[in-house]
């Protein structure tokens, strides 16, 4: 496995504080449509599906997925649109009414704090903030290149009435501001009705199966080799993909490929996940508590403290550990690149301590009793 040392300047660059969020108020073609004109779009990792060349992006290098957020005051609506790759919402203390279908009437779901919602690809979706305050909807989009989005026909027609057009290259043209369609550029036309009629239909029950509420989470008490060791008492809840769990019977709520896995990690004061590394990009965001993330080892160690809605991107091959600092329990959102299981490489001292405590990993990378593995024979 590649041994990556993250220097101090790179640690700072990869740390995205809540105070570092930079909104774009004209990211999409509906930015002048009444009811949709107060949206803020944030792009933390990758530009996502923003259609504005001036969109600020905190980290532009490929991660295998995009991470951002929607900022929407009470009553603000995100107009109906369609994604080709995964779109996953993580609700941080908001109250949103989601709707789907070509006219937004195929079904509805009311999302509250703690929900994780994987919206099916190739269906129209939109949402409205019906809460008392802004709340936060984090968004994780599948793949580095999302392919953009398709707007509902009515959205495009209404935007044209406000002087806004979209080219086939995903460039937003604002004729009110004096912009002109580049010579030879083709403007996006509404999706043909016969193609809209062929889109998948999702019932409310089917959509609900793609939602993981706080009450739906199933927590793995001992998910890792370090479980049971001092400071290694974090629990894990798999939401999308098998991710980093080392429990052989753990199953996520959603198995289908998204381009990433997503899980919740929780721990009490002084507990977390001991030193390990993995050969995948990983991004963590604090939901509750304060988390100390230690990167590198020995003299190269760097420590980052994450509070609510602070995010850190950890590059592949970097040693890292996570410790929850506050009294009570804290939660960390963990997004890891790739569709398959991500096997952890433990620091030698962690592996040795686990073996002394009677735990090892079997050849498949799952937890096993050390005594049993010691008695196993190998074929010649």
Looking at residue 170, what is its pLDDT?
80
Which residues are CB-neighbours of 151 under 8 A, at least 6 positions away?
A: 29, 30, 79, 80, 81, 82, 159, 166, 188, 190
Q: In the predicted model, what is the mean pLDDT of residues 266-293? A: 98
Looking at residue 181, what is its pLDDT?
83
**82 has pLDDT over 60:** yes
**305 has pLDDT over 80:** yes
* Distance between CA atoms of residues 55 and 41, nearest Å: 8
Q: In the predicted model, what is the mean pLDDT of residues 101-117? A: 96
**154 has pLDDT over 90:** yes
Q: In the predicted model, what is the mean pLDDT of residues 59-79? A: 95
Q: What is the mean pLDDT of the chain?
A: 95
Looking at residue 380, what is its pLDDT?
46
Q: Which of 32-36, 294-298, 343-347 has the lowest mean pLDDT?
A: 32-36
**293 has pLDDT over 60:** yes
At residue 378 the predicted structure's pLDDT band, cuts being 50, 70 and 90, is low
Residue 251, classified by CB atoms within 10 Å of its CB into exposed (0-12), middle (13-18) or buried (19+), is exposed
Residue 96, classified by CB atoms within 10 Å of its CB into exposed (0-12), middle (13-18) or buried (19+), is buried
Q: In the predicted model, what is the mean pLDDT of residues 14-22? A: 97
Neighbours of 116 (CB within 10 A): 27
CATH numbers and ranges of domains, the chain: 8-212 (2.60.120.10), 235-374 (2.60.120.10)
**379 has pLDDT over 70:** no
* Distance between CA atoms of residues 183 and 305, nearest Å: 50
CA torsion sign for 16, 86, 147, 340 is: positive
Please calculate the CA angle 121-122-124 and round it to the nearest 5 degrees: 105
What are 329-377's pLDDT values in tens digits? 999 999 999 999 999 999 999 999 999 999 999 999 999 999 998 877 5
- DSSP annotation of 84 reads S
β-pair type (65-71, 320-324):
unpaired
Q: In the predicted model, what is the mean pLDDT of residues 77-93? A: 96
Cβ atoms of residues 190 and 196 within 8 Å: no
Structure tokens, 143: 């793949």
């Amino acid at each position: 496995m590649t041994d990556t040392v993250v220097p101090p300047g790179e640690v700072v660059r990869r740390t995205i504080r809540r105070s570092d969020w930079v909104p774009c108020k004209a990211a999409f073609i509906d930015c002048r449509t009444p009811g949709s004109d107060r949206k803020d779009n944030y792009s933390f990792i990758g530009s996502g599906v923003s259609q504005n060349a001036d969109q600020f992006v905190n980290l532009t290098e490929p991660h295998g997925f995009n991470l951002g957020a929607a900022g929407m005051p009470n009553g603000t609506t995100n107009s109906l649109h369609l994604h080709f790759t995964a779109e996953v919402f993580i609700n941080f203390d908001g109250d949103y009414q989601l709707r789907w279908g070509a006219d937004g009437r195929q079904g509805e779901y009311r999302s509250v704090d703690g929900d994780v919602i994987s919206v099916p690809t190739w269906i129209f979706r939109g949402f409205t903030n019906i809460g008392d305050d802004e709340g936060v909807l984090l968004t994780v989009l599948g793949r580095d290149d999302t392919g953009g989005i398709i707007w509902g026909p009515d959205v495009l027609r209404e935007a044209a009435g406000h002087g806004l057009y979209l080219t086939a290259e995903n460039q937003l043209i604002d004729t009110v501001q004096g912009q002109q369609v580049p010579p030879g550029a083709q403007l996006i036309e509404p999706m043909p009705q016969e193609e809209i009629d062929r889109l998948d239909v999702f019932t409310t029950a089917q959509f609900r199966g793609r939602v993981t509420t706080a009450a739906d989470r199933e927590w793995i008490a001992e998910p890792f080799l370090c479980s049971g060791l001092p400071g290694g008492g974090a629990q894990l809840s798999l939401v999308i993909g098998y991710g980093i769990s080392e429990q052989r019977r753990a199953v996520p709520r959603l198995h289908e490929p998204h381009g990433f896995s997503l899980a919740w990690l929780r721990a009490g004061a002084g507990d977390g996940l001991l030193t390990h590394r993995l050969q995948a990009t990983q991004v963590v965001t604090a939901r509750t508590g304060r988390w100390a993330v230690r990167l590198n080892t020995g003299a190269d160690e760097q420590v980052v403290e994450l509070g609510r809605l602070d995010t850190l991107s950890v590059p592949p091959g970097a040693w890292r550990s996570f410790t929850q600092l506050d009294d009570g329990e804290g939660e960390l959102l963990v997004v890891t690149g790739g569709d398959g299981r991500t096997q952890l490489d433990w620091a030698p001292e962690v592996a040795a301590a686990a073996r002394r405590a009677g735990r090892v990993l079997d050849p498949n990378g799952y937890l096993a009793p050390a005594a049993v593995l010691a008695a196993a024979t190998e074929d010649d």
